[in-house]
Structure 1
Amino acid sequence: MNNKKEKGEHMKATATTLLLAIVSSLAFSVQAETVTQALEKCRGVDNSLQRLVCYDRVAKNVNQYAGGQESISAVPRPQLAPANAPEATMPPPPAKPSVSSTPSAKPTVDNNATEDIAFGMEQKRVREQKEASMVATVAALSSTVRGSLIVTFDNGTVWQQSDDTDLNLKEGQKVVVERGMFGAFYAKVEGIKRKMKVKRIK
């Protein structure tokens, strides 16, 4: 009778030990699963500050769970951005081109170009600057061997007849000597339409 009683108590103790082992195993499983779920829940939080608080709360209670330290150490802690940091870095505005305040230099006149334009016109410009005519009084009359008239005026100039025109000049008579084409000169007297071609010899 006593043997049966001892045997029953032994079986009861064994069953109790087995039950405690099963309950402990279930508790460990529940605890490990709870840590994983807590970490996943924290990971799903959008706000970075709230997500950090969630991780801190799980880390503070991690010692209550079997294997919790290893589980939470695998999750990186998020880095909070500084409160005063700008959301986006804007590129600097393009620099405006500097405008020089110095006035631009005036174009210089090329003297060589001016001389090139006047090249070949020197004689014409000299002729334009000369007087177109001369008025003088006949001081003396003479002739060459060939009969060409030589007229000496009161201003000291001496002119010789170059064609066959006869003006019937007399001493004391006023004569106008005009400049003609191609360097020619012509003498004329008031009241006579014809002109006598002359050239200066002195």
Structure 2
Amino acid sequence: MRLSLIAAGIILMSANAYANTNLGQQLSICAAKTDKTARLTCYDTLAANAKPSAHIMATASPVNSIAPEVATVPAAVSVVASPKALSVDDFGLQKKVIEDEVSKIYSEVVSVKKDALGAFIITLNNGQVWKQNSSKYYKIKKGQHIFIETGALNSFLLGSDDRNATTRVKRLK
């Protein structure tokens, strides 16, 4: 009895692994397309043809309002840039969205505070609040004109045009 359950589990896992490799091949075909509309159409077709897995169907409860076909869309396909243009007010708050419309903002520092570890927390004149992520010393004062630009791996760098140094920051508000 125990051995037959183990064998059935291995068969089910191998079938799921085969389905995942097939999906990976289809995703790589879609990713290779250079035309944006053709690539999006390819991803939409993949999402429409996705079948809900047995695990998703078994764990779906009547309380859960997410449809099974939405829940089975792979994470690589579900990340789509929003059609609205990103504004300066949303800069730094968007997660998993390509921020190619705004890559650098300029603002004036309204207030500077320090946290318990010595990292500064600044408030800009547009209402945004940023906190220093790096531990290196960076001098900043009230009224200073600064910029915040996008860095590698969805990070942000704070600096000013009058000096050649930047520090990593994270947006709080």
Give the TM-score normalised by the residue count of structure 1: 0.40
- If you compute each CA radius of gyration, which structure gives the higher value, 1 or 2? 1
Higher RCO (CA < 8 A, seq sep 6+): 2
Bigger proportion of residues as helix: 1
